[in-house]
Structure 1
Amino acid sequence: MTDQIVMVAEARMAGKVFPQAFLGFDVSKDWIDVARHGGAGVVRLANDEASIAGFLADEGPIRLAAFEPTGGYERGLRRALRDAGVAFARVHPNEVAAFRIRRGLKAKTDALDARLIADFAALELDGRGLKPLVEGDEVLRELTARRRQLVDALHAERCRACLAEARIVRDSLAAVAAALEASLAALDAAIAAHIAADAALAGTARRLRSLKGVGPVTVATLLGELPELGRLSAKEIASLVGLAPRTRDSGRTRFRATTGHGRPGVRRVLFNAARCAIRHNVPIKAFYDRLVERNKRPGKVALTAVMRKMLVTLNAIARDQQDWKHAQNA
């Protein structure tokens, strides 16, 4: 699902309606190329908030700005757009790639990408009825992402240690593993302190944990990387995370429905939460057993269904700000 902000109304100055621009931003580490839909030129800006803010101030009425996620280099752009009150959309690269193919474009440069994104905003995004983008807790998101990196690095070091024979290599691996463990413990403490310092976050975290099988890592990841939790419908939240089955049929051929894309970090913690729930959560275990035994679903398919059910339940808990209804009996 594309992250979006609702489009602003047409600007009016001195009683006149001015045409509003559709802007495409191609973001890189050091600079940003900006193109206007229907315009001839491309402007290159330094990738810092002051340069972007100055450009936006001189640009005039803007109906919609669009850009692709770049792993963090777009953060300054997002803040500048938000501070300027400009409607913007963060578009998935796959959508832009498909749009490129439909337009028959083969050349690829930063300037061409900016123009393509501007055209995509005007010709595709403008008619979708964009929803408000939910701004999450950037500090918590960064903390949870860093925790996942440390867990992966620690797992890799432990796997290497199982195969190492030379003493110096084993000592090196043990030293690195110990440092990672210490850093991970400090990060866990920082995450817990950050959540506890915010009464609203702390209250939501406590309610989410009322669903048996959901632990502190799952809660922190949901709060940090899924700020839309509680604000979307069951189908929308499942689609956003990547747990909505996608059918693919052609003629008489029926392919197996698949899931994917979305928020892999969230799916990862839900996978572990689901494995715990099917052992210790009575209603969830009954749901899983019914899928496997009565409906003859493969174990992995049933587990994915459990992940979706838990996500939908957590979404309802966050929306209603109430504990799980079976908390006392699970």
Structure 2
Amino acid sequence: MRYLLGIDISKSSFHAAFLDTAGSDGPQHGEFPNDAAGFQQLSEWLERLSSSGSATGSPVTVHACMEATGRYYEALACFLHQAGHRVSVVNPTCIAHYARSKLLRNKTDKIDAATIADFARTQNPRAWTPPSPQLKQLQALTHQLDALKKMKTQETNRLKAAPPDKNVQKVIREHLHFLEQQNQTLIQQLDSLAKDAPFQRQVQLLTSIPGIGKLTAYRLIAEGITRFDSSRQLAAYAGLSPRHHESGTSVKRKEALSKVGNARLRAALYWPAISAKRWNPALAAFVERLESKHKPNKLITAAVMRKLLCLAFAVLKADKPFDPAYQPH
């Protein structure tokens, strides 16, 4: 007998659907605040429900499943994990397509929670492991660095548009100066964090690959690329696997990137791929082979991004620096 918990989470609250696979009744529903008090209420609610259905009368472990919704899920997921429950955090797209396959006509928080519980029952998603405090700090710093980069680009574009008012131009320049100061502060904090084990060794391994600098290394480590079993899985997670669209004899579209995956990884690898096409001897030969086949430039860049990601995965898994004599297939 399995006990399942589907959770539809938002900023201020979350809906929970408790499902007993041995029972004939539908799920039990509850709504709780998304804070420490709400987590305790959920724990007490689970104890009542699970003990009433348990032969021994003692609380049992549940399999809790929730969507990766921004950062709203993290505190609750950690709470349930620390309480000894199995926790799965899944891509919201998976739940959306699952609900569509069930031909659901309505959408409410209550229905979504029940759908997530049923998804856990039928699909048995893999268990989630919370990141270490150091990795969470690295993620926060790299994500903020990316946010600053976007803001700098926006302000630079505004300045290039030449606002007619000089006061506005002055404000934009001051803001750009402030953003650059913040950017340097974040980089210093990242450099300091990277001196600690195991980040120091991982950065050394990643930067041994021509085309990957320290900031790219920080971003790759922050996205947890070593948690996968194979480079193929990692490439799919990053949305760098090819997408085929064929049907019968008449429909056959050109291959394209799936782009169903982690956009941060793709963004982190774009400019390193541009650099590697020129400065990484092994990948330069790979690029020449693709160019000789008259492949589009965008496809070549995407292929180099995937190769870089696979190389990064390989050096981290093998704990060995990049071999310049390596020749990709």
Do both proteins adopt the same fold according to a TM-score greater than 0.5, normalized to the shorter chain?
Answer: yes
The count of residues paired between Structure 1 and Structure 2 equals: 305
Letter in 2 for 1:285: A
CA RMSD of aligned residues (A): 2.0
Q: Which residue of 2 aligns with 1:8?
A: none
Which structure has more relative contact order (CA 8 Å, sep 6+)? It is: 1
Q: Following TM superposition, by how much is the alpha carbon of 1:232 offset from its aligned partner in structure 2, in angstroms?
A: 2.3
Contact 2:27 2:114 in 1 (8 A): no
Partner of 1:88: 87
- Give the aligned partner of residue 56 of structure 2: none
Runs of 4+ aligned residues of structure 1 deviating over 4 Å after TM superposition are 131-134
Whole-Å Cα distance in 2 between the matches of residues 105 and 65 of structure 1?
A: 22
What is the distance in 2 between the residues matched to 1:139 and 1:27?
Answer: 23
Q: CA deviation at 1:112?
A: 1.2
Counterpart selection for 2:225 from 217, 223, 228:
228
Q: 1:147 to 1:86 in 2, by over 3 A?
A: same
Q: Give me the whole-angstrom Cα distance separating, in 1, the residues matched to 2:72 and 2:232.
A: 30
> What residue is the counterpart of 2:5 in the other structure?
23
The Cα of 1:113 is off from its aligned counterpart by: 0.9
Structure 1 residue 228: Cα displacement: 3.3
Q: Say whether residues 1:135 and 2:159 are aligned partners.
A: no
Question: Would you say the 8 A contact 2:64–2:86 is kept in 1?
Answer: yes
Shift of 1:133: 4.2
Unaligned runs of 5+ residues in structure 2 are: 20-24, 51-58
For residues 91 and 311 of structure 1, what CA distance do their matches in structure 2 show? Answer: 22
User: CA–CA distance in 1 between the matches of 2:109 and 2:127?
Assistant: 28
Match status 1:241 vs 2:238: yes
Q: TM-score normalized by structure 2?
A: 0.87
Correspondent of 1:210 among 198, 208, 211: 208
Q: Distance in 2 between matches of 1:311 and 1:217?
A: 15
Q: Please give the secondary structure, in 1, of the residue aligned with 2:221.
A: helix
What is the alpha-carbon distance in structure 2 between the residues aligned to residue 28 and residue 70 of structure 1? 8
Checking the alignment, whether the CA contact within 8 Å between 2:236 and 2:261 is kept in structure 1 is yes
- Partner residue in 1 for 2:198: 200
> Identity of counterpart residues, as a percentage?
27
Any idea what the Cα deviations from partners look like across 1:199-233, whole Å, max 9, x if unmatched?
Answer: 211111111100011011110101112x1326421
Alignment check: 8 A CA contact 2:69 2:92 kept: no
SS of 1:161's equivalent in the other structure is helix
**Whole-Å separation in 1 of the counterparts to 2:146 and 2:128:** 28
Whether the aligned pair in 1 keeps the contact of 2:282 and 2:325 (CA below 8 Å) is no
Q: Secondary structure at the match of 1:229?
A: helix
Deviation per CA, 1:176-221: give whole Å up to 9, x if none: 111111111101111111111x221111111110001101111010
Distance of aligned partners of 1:40 and 1:236 in 2 relative to their CA distance in 1, 3 Å threshold: closer
Partner of 2:291: 292
**SS of alignment partner, residue 226 of structure 2:** coil
Contact 1:209 1:216 in 2 (8 A): yes
User: In the alignment, residue 209 of structure 1 is paired with which amino acid?
Assistant: T
Question: Structure 1 length as normaliser, TM-score?
Answer: 0.87
Which amino acid counterpart does residue 24 of structure 1 have in structure 2? G
Confirm or deny that 1:61 pairs with 2:60.
Answer: yes
- Aligned residue number for residue 54 of structure 2: none
Query: Following the alignment from structure 1 to structure 2, what is the Cα–Cα distance between the partners of residues 87 and 255?
Result: 42
Shift of 1:254: 1.3
Residue 4 of structure 1: aligned partner: none
From the superposition, tell whether residues 117 and 242 of structure 1 become closer, same or farther in structure 2 (CA, over 3 Å): same
Q: CA deviation at 1:324?
A: 0.3
Name the CA distance, whole Å, in 1 between partners of 2:176 and 2:219: 23
SS at match of 1:42: strand
Quick one: distance in 1 between partners of 2:207 and 2:248?
Answer: 45
Question: Aligned match of 1:307 in 305, 308, 311?
Answer: 305
Q: In 1, distance between residues paired with 2:130 and 2:321?
A: 23
Q: Aligned equivalents of 2:114 and 2:169: distance in 1?
A: 53
Structure 1 residues 305 and 134, CA gap change in structure 2 (3 angstroms): farther
For structure 1, list consecutive stretches of 5 or more residues without a partner in the other structure.
Answer: 1-18
User: Which AA in structure 1 matches 2:225?
Assistant: E
Alignment of 1:270-281 (within 5 A): 270-281=269-280
